[in-house]
Amino acid sequence: MPEEPKEINKYENRFGIVAIRKGYITLGQLIKARRIQSQEDLYQEEHRLIGEILFSQGHMSPAEIEDVLKMMFKERGST
């Protein structure tokens, strides 16, 4: 299985951090989502982003995911 690019891993971590800071999820929910993602990757299932997993678990709405992404890209543009 190919190694995940560092940029994707950085993006995943940032998504979770922003979502926690905005109060959309808890640290425990992020840890569980990362565990699910790791297990799916280990079993070579289709790679899902953390936001997708959090949505499927009922922890985030599409509007919350969009808000986090907007915040991330806004921050990225200012660096």
Tens digit of each residue's pLDDT (9 = 90 or more) over 31-48? 999 999 999 999 999 999
Domain boundaries, the chain: 6-73
C-beta of residue 61 within 8 angstroms of C-beta of residue 68:
no
C-beta of residue 15 within 8 angstroms of C-beta of residue 49:
yes
**Among the listed residues 77, 41, 57, the one whose alpha carbon sits nearest the alpha carbon of residue 19:** 57
Q: Percentage of the chain with pLDDT > 90?
A: 72
Task: Reply yes or no on whether the pLDDT at 62 is more than 50.
Answer: yes
Band of pLDDT at residue 17, cut at 50, 70 and 90? very high
3, 26, 34, 42, 77 from 29: Cα distances, Å: 25, 5, 9, 20, 28
Average the pLDDT over each of 11-25, 32-46, 65-79 and give the range with the smallest value. Answer: 65-79
